[in-house]
Chains A and B, each alone.
Chain A
């Protein structure tokens, strides 16, 4: 079963519009961590945010904000006043606690491709 679902495959917005990228996850653990990554056309995955399951406070960083709702298992990402440089593929990821010393597993969603039109 898919642990992280990003239902929006592609989104296009006009510059300065706000846009929300959805992420729904599935886990049986009570302690887990959620991440968002940005992948511009250059290819590198850029870490944006890490949130643990005990911290439901929403976070804002400049034009970026994240809304964590445990009740709906969602961790949505909003870009306010979008810019052309925001055009990229955005991945949501989940990491659960591991029971053996094999390294933390990261489960990525399928990504949302955002295009900001000037």
Chain B
């Protein structure tokens, strides 16, 4: 079983809806990530949180809004999405942000999002 838990597993939403994706880890990791993955493509980095502060935003549209309430939780708030935003959204965590010694990313199972 994965140690990074994502909910929901599947989500269908209309373009006017507001929804949130949730991610939780209890490994004591201090870096958390959101990735977006389209079919047959590698994961694309969206956001990185380091010690609960947003450290990387890969020019993601403002209709995606991340939030890190505490060191164990990571949310992705969705509003006014487009059909092309349909994808698998993966949360990951890693052991701190030791710049000299990057540790592996630990991924959740992802949320399969469909925007209609």
Assuming A103-B31, A108-B42, A109-B42, is B105 touching A47 (CB within 8 A)?
Answer: yes
Chain A residues close to B by CB (< 8 Å): 31, 33, 35, 37, 42-47, 50, 52, 91, 95, 97-99, 101-106, 108-111, 113
Tell whether, in the assembled complex, residue B48 and residue A102 are in contact, meaning their CB atoms are under 8 Å apart: yes
Cβ 8 A contact of B94, one of A46, A104, A110: A104
* Beyond known contacts A44-B108, A91-B43: 20 more, CB 8 A cutoff: A44-B107, A44-B109, A45-B92, A45-B105, A45-B107, A47-B104, A50-B103, A50-B104, A95-B102, A97-B100, A97-B102, A98-B99, A98-B102, A99-B99, A102-B55, A102-B56, A104-B98, A110-B41, A111-B41, A111-B42
B80 within 8 A of A: no
Proximity bits, B64-98, A CB within 8 Å = 1, else 0: 00000000000000000000000010101010011
Nearest 7 A/B pairs, CB to CB: A104-B102, A108-B42, A103-B48, A45-B107, A95-B102, A102-B55, A98-B99
Q: Is the CB of B42 within 8 A of A101?
A: no
The count of chain B contact residues (Cβ–Cβ below 8 Å) is 32
A44 to B18 alpha-carbon distance, docked (Å) = 25
Contact among B42, B49, B50, B94 with A91 in the assembled complex (CB-CB below 8 Å): B42
24 pairs from A and B in contact (CB 8 Å cutoff)? A33-B101, A33-B102, A43-B88, A43-B109, A44-B108, A47-B105, A50-B103, A95-B102, A97-B102, A98-B99, A98-B102, A101-B97, A101-B99, A102-B50, A103-B33, A103-B48, A103-B50, A103-B55, A104-B103, A105-B45, A106-B45, A110-B41, A111-B42, A113-B40
